[in-house]
Amino acid sequence: MMKKGILAIVCLMATILVSARGVNEQDPKYGKGAVPVDENGSVCFTRTEQIPDGMSADQCYDILLNWAKGRFAKPYAQAGRILNEDSGTHRYIFHVDQMIVFKSTAFVADESKISYNFQVAVKDGTFTMKMTDIKYRYEEGREGGGQIFPAEDWITDKEAYNRKGTKFLKSTGKFRIKTIDLKDNLFQKAVNSVYGNY
């Protein structure tokens, strides 16, 4: 039994290592330029899509708003609330708190709370999604509630890479990877909700 237990642990560690090596710092998904900043130096992820032919702006907006109300409620998020909602201009902003998990085993749970604003604007035959105001509360369970880091100081090209710019730093690279994965998932789910309802 002990040998089997040791073998299971070795296999698990090997899987974790293989997964970590599977991320290429030069991969366009995670590599240089994958975390855009706006004119103010703030991290801002954006994606714009065409509204399907025959769908009105009102219909598109209602679908995206209903999707967000479901997606940013428990259990998907710890908390989600509307900061601003204007059906007249077809715009809304949700503030979201949720967890991102870097590694979870029977022995280790490495995770962080992430908060962000998710914005949608429907205009001129398109809908635009934005993920902004990203912050992390890492090791929240520690005395003092952990540390809070803004994305600008944590996941940009300058902060996520080593000095040579060849590899991700262990402390910040994992935040960059998980944030990009979360952004891609949210944007794609929102797009799917529009085209799936057409």
Per-residue tokens: 112: 């962080």
Domains and CATH numbers, the chain: 27-196 (3.30.530.80)
Q: How far apart are the first and last CA of the chain?
A: 55
| Closest to 34 measured CA to CA, from 181, 172, 196, 141 | 181
| Closest to 177 measured CA to CA, from 190, 187, 167, 163 | 167
Give the pTM.
0.83
Sorted by sequence, the CB contacts under 8 Å of residue 159 that are 6+ apart come out as 152, 153, 169, 172
What string of pLDDT tens digits covers the 198 residues of the chain? 444 343 333 333 333 333 444 566 768 899 999 999 999 999 999 999 999 999 999 999 999 999 999 999 999 899 999 999 999 999 999 999 999 998 877 666 788 999 999 999 999 999 999 999 999 998 765 655 568 899 999 999 999 999 888 899 988 999 999 999 999 999 999 999 999 965
C-alpha distances (whole Å) from 2 to each of 5, 6, 11, 128 are 5, 6, 14, 55
Q: Taking the CA of residue 22 as centre, how many other CA atoms within 13 Å lie in the half-sphere pointing to its CB?
A: 6
User: What are the residues facing 56 on neighbouring strands?
Assistant: none
Round to whole Å and give the CA distance between 23 and 90. Answer: 38
How many Cβ atoms from other residues are within 10 Å of residue 7's Cβ? 10
Strands 91-104 and 79-86: antiparallel
How many Cβ atoms from other residues are within 10 Å of residue 102's Cβ? 15
| Closest to 129 measured CA to CA, from 93, 76, 176 | 93
Q: What is the pLDDT of residue 2?
A: 44
Per-residue tokens: 23: 């991320």
